[in-house]
Structure 1
């Protein structure tokens, strides 16, 4: 009996030793060190503090030529074509070209193309690795995407707990999609006694996402404005004229930025389909409803559209509606953004073997990105530095991702002694335009207009002196330039009206002192609405 017990104990000991060895080997296995498996703080729905940061302030600088390839790929995803009619081989090729130059949006899109099967040579595993590469670059959208992968079990083991941890990390880094997802979870459970309900933080998250141009949150945010609630989710007060007006303005702003649900909601509101408690405008207005439904239909067909100059044809009451011929195209053309230059300059073919060639549409700008590696960590223009100084006759040259850098030699040394302390500095391309203010957009989604003969500029605290379409602008070095210097930030103003205030009207943490406004197109006679009493 005693011998039997000893044998059992020894067997148990062996099993424990084997298990310990397996666990130890597993924890040293490189797969556990992959970004997809990194340890993150667990999702904390009851946090009392939320600090809004903008995603664009965290991402690597965008190469202008790569961005042109990215826009060309987006253009080819023409919503007038059935998916099977689109040239996906070219779309994938252009997106990969941009991704190889560390264009963060292209990297995320390319991962989606892999998963959707548009590139037969790459699959789900490649998509996960590409997102991991983006995570290592500190791209917030990559953490959001990895959270989705863990939620759905895409290329990884399904794990909701890990998914929410990744989404929380992405939201803290400013990703608007993660913010929208988590905010909805914290807000929509308010009436169910759910332990996740956190109205104050949900509202701040929604405002942070909205300020970055994510209109997915507009429906829930307008409800938060219309019916103020306490932290426990209970209604603090019934809707008032002031709270309804605030909610109405938010939906109107969301329509400008491409929010189809907001446009649809405003159509129903002005058409009289809401009861008195949920009604936002002071009165039914069928004429306004007719215009909102046209915009809603257009956004439902192509979600890439933006209508920044909506007030030109559809200002909120009490302004009168301007004349309209009733056609869809005239309405869309009037309210879309405007640009001076074509979004995609013709590409000049590179001479064979010429690494130093730069397309005349662009010029180079040195970045703070350096590497001591023997290969280019990503594609683009790299220049060798020795002791921090540029090497004579060695300007920036183009290298593909993972392409070996050439060996540098000590000048004048017998037998050409190789250098061992070479640093390579990265340069991005920037648009070679003579104009300071020159917004670009997805081709076909803006009108091209002639540049005004005489520049007209204002500061944010001033009032408009010329009626027309105005473009906000911050210096190219500003961390928020990628979400300010865009046609979808434009606004149509009448003479004497104030300019929008970023914090109040855009919910964007931007100091108005950093902002200037530039006239893009002056309004003509009969083309502006009359302000009602």
Structure 2
């Protein structure tokens, strides 16, 4: 019998609901670098699939093409999105097995979310035989690798007071809570809903302190896109099931109305985020700011902000032709990856070098700009510059990645429609340990090469703060192991606090 070596068939440890410990690993630490050009293609595809566009009016041909372009550059999110498009029959020539192959490719790149997705496929019997045992094994592996979706799924299952495997829950509250906290810290909104329930019921003895903690987590969950959190707060502030056990200090119909609007928006478009929620809906005892009563103005005020786009400077690479062309909004940065091969090992820009050859040959190759190759595409061959028709031997190819031309600027990016553009105020920044010097929207930022940049340098991490407030603390408020010295805050919008 032939052994099945495909990633979908790998042997994983059985799910252990009674594990004694769990180490919080952040998924961002495990992800392959994202090509900036590929990321721009994917954001455009997400924009074209906006739920506000009627399904029959969406250009799925272009959505698939853009997502595929990004996936071919090994953009892991694009690979998983393309798999979903295949399952939705958005490109009829591809089906379930093609989707699984894409997920397997992402698994081989070490992407934690791909292990979670394979677990979903086994749970639902998508392209594979339905097998809950395998599904839970994949979820467990994904959670151990740092995937917040799997942590949330398993964490909720482990926060029961007794075991009932047939019903899918077990009593391992300390581990379940750790998983939920780790997922929440990475910005995964749905984790907040279950974590709030767990905080409220700590030791199964609800207290006012625990209620306040749960209320804050639900509120943060709304910022992170959790529709269930918004709907829960609408009920808690408006018509609690048991007023004696309600989370907020008092009923507040005005707050309930605003949470209801936010919940409807998040249910309609789960990609939305409302990081500046405190601008229009702070938790009590803060007073509600004025509002003109229009839904769009409420949602707009709570959205993240982007600075105005900056036109890219002219670049020599943008004038090149063929495989050497690089769009002006991007530039290339050499990676540490080298390939002494005749075929490109990955889709990327590659430049030939010959470290073992003389200076003349090295200079000749250095004058050749990096070129874009598809995976397994034959590399070009080069001849010695002194004639004779002899090939240059021992060529080593160095990979170059695309980065944005303003790579080092404080400029968070999101798909169009998910943020609003705000005129950039006078440059103002502050250290994480400082108090906020001015009222407005503040953006946290770490160095772009920092391991946590993909979950910090995002518009959904912004915060609306008033002058004199402390900045959110990574360890306390985000549950992230991020030294304050690594983090700075930057003023993005100094607008008036009134919503209109």
* Superposition TM-score tier, normalisation by shorter sequence: over 0.9
CA distance in 1, matches of 2:462, 2:306: 10
Give the TM-score normalised by the residue count of structure 2.
0.93
Q: Counterpart of 1:33 in 2: which secondary structure?
A: coil
Q: Which aligned pairs between 1:172-187 and structure 2 lie closer than 5 A?
A: 172-187=144-159
Partner of 1:442: 415
Query: Which of 289, 303, 314 is the aligned partner of 2:256?
Result: 289
Query: Which of 388, 395, 403 is the aligned partner of 1:422?
Result: 395
Partner of 2:366: 392
Q: Counterpart of 1:369 in 2: which secondary structure?
A: strand
Change in Cα spacing, 1:502 to 1:367, as seen in structure 2 (3 Å) is same
Residue 218 of structure 1 deviates from its aligned partner by 1.6
Which is higher, the Rg of structure 1 or of structure 2?
1
1:379 and 2:347 correspond = yes
Partner of 1:404: 378
Query: Which of 432, 443, 449 is the aligned partner of 2:405?
Result: 432
Compute the RMSD of aligned alpha carbons: 2.3
Residue 509 of structure 1 deviates from its aligned partner by 2.2
Partner of 1:18: none
Query: Which of 61, 72, 80 is the aligned partner of 2:33?
Result: 61
Change in Cα spacing, 1:38 to 1:410, as seen in structure 2 (3 Å) is farther
Change in Cα spacing, 1:135 to 1:343, as seen in structure 2 (3 Å) is farther
Residue 113 of structure 1 deviates from its aligned partner by 1.0
Partner of 1:340: 307
Unpaired runs of 5+ residues, structure 1, are 1-22, 230-234, 529-533
Residue 193 of structure 1 deviates from its aligned partner by 5.1
Q: Deviations over 1:37-75 (max 9, x none)?
A: 112222111111111111121111111111010000000
Q: Deviations over 1:419-476 (max 9, x none)?
A: 1x322222111111286211111101211112223x1111111101111110000001
CA distance in 1, matches of 2:383, 2:319: 27
Worse-matched range after superposition: 280-289 or 505-514: 505-514
Residue 129 of structure 1 deviates from its aligned partner by 1.2
Change in Cα spacing, 1:139 to 1:441, as seen in structure 2 (3 Å) is same
Structure 1 ranges of 4+ moved more than 4 A: 191-195, 342-346, 348-353
Q: Counterpart of 1:370 in 2: which secondary structure?
A: strand
Give the TM-score normalised by the residue count of structure 1.
0.87
Residue 411 of structure 1 deviates from its aligned partner by 4.4
Q: Would you say the 8 A contact 2:441–2:462 is kept in 1?
A: yes
Partner of 1:527: 498
Query: Which of 213, 218, 237 is the aligned partner of 2:187?
Result: 213
CA distance in 1, matches of 2:131, 2:452: 34
Q: Would you say the 8 A contact 1:183–1:203 is kept in 2?
A: yes
Q: Would you say the 8 A contact 1:226–1:243 is kept in 2?
A: yes
Q: Counterpart of 2:114 in 1: which secondary structure?
A: helix
CA distance in 2, matches of 1:350, 1:78: 31
Partner of 2:101: 129
Partner of 2:359: none
Partner of 2:177: 203
Q: Deviations over 1:484-527 (max 9, x none)?
A: 00111000111111000112111222222210000011133x63
